[in-house]
Structure 1
Amino acid sequence: MKMIIRQLDNSYSDQLIDLILTIQQKEFNVPITIEDQPDLKMIESFYMEPGGNFWGAFIDDELVGSIALVKFDERAGAVRKMFVKKEFRGKELNIAQELLEVLISFCRENGIDAIYLGTVNILKAAMRFYERNHFSQVEKKNLPASFPLMNADNVFYYLNINQKV
């Protein structure tokens, strides 16, 4: 199985919605709908025009993972929409890791040196993944004022990508 990571645009909206809502609603029972995430229907204007991006991981032309960056400040971005289909998770394929590395490279190339993200405390594996990747937990009150909060999120992380680990 060979994985390819591609930049996504609006033409991938339906595939993304299918991937993300299935994981949110069916796997984790998060009460979130497409109406709560209109950004999935406007990838170019919401993510790319302000200076962020959106990527998808494909195996045999099937979208199996996603990650996005919302640039919300001159030198800061928020990681969003990090999802990998259940049957493609784990170290064998390393999809989440590769998606995160593509996002970090993009940040380095575009002068973004701080990345933040919010997640939900029931997503224990996601939290371990971010911690393994040197993200530090940050209190909600210490997030930048312009950080784009999502209602469901209750755990927040920060990474300075220029920090030597």
Structure 2
Amino acid sequence: MNTTPVISSLNNTYCQQIIDIILPIQQIEFNVPITLEAQPDLLDIESNYHQTGGNFWGATYNEQLVGTIALIAFGDNAAAIRKMFVLKEYRGKELGIAQLLLDNLIAYCRQNNITSIYLGTVEVLKAAHRFYERNGFTRLAKHDLPESFPLMAADTIFYELHLNN
């Protein structure tokens, strides 16, 4: 049994496992009024993430998928973080899964000359706001987002991080 979280790239064979993590967190835990129909990207990871120049990663712990993070590349050296979720019982500094996921994504950005990272989130995810801010992200007004940023209807709070490669 592996008691160290492992981060790896996910493809379409993981769609159902990804959905099984994300939807209950959105709908049940945080009461975000979003459906699978509003997130068709979850049904085709490869087209929506890999083919943009981004990727979709999962954190596995004891051979169970327990967290996700994704990246959509857009514009000039820019990308958007999407689908960062960790199952409640695996959150926190003890395992550091969220940090491992984000560190992996940032390393990918540096390797692929992505220098500006953006993300959208919702008001209720206060711990996520603190997490991003601890990692150097700064809040950004919606009207200051790049025009080509792929907006999600539910998002109301936005962040950016500029990397010095």
How far 1:61 sits from its partner (Å)? Answer: 1.5
Alignment partner, residue 104 of structure 1: 106
How far 1:73 sits from its partner (Å)? Answer: 1.3
CA root-mean-square deviation: 0.8
Alignment partner, residue 159 of structure 1: 161
How far 1:74 sits from its partner (Å)? Answer: 2.7
Segments ≥4 residues shifted beyond 4 Å: none
How far 1:7 sits from its partner (Å)? Answer: 0.3
Alignment partner, residue 5 of structure 2: 3
SS at match of 2:8: strand
**Partners in 1 of 2:64 and 2:9 — Cα distance?**
14
Post-superposition Cα deviations, 1:32-68, rounded to whole Å, max 9, x if no partner, equal: 1110100011100110011000000001111100000
**Partners in 2 of 1:74 and 1:139 — Cα distance?**
20
Aligned length: 163
**Partners in 1 of 2:27 and 2:108 — Cα distance?**
30
Q: Which runs of 5+ in 1 are unaligned?
A: none
2:89 to 78, 87, 90: 87
Matches within 5 A, 1:1-165: 1-162=3-164
Which residue identity does 1:133 align to in structure 2? N
**Partners in 2 of 1:141 and 1:130 — Cα distance?**
20
Same amino acid, percent of matched pairs: 60
Give me the TM-score of the superposition, normalised by structure 2. Answer: 0.97
Give me the TM-score of the superposition, normalised by structure 1. Answer: 0.97
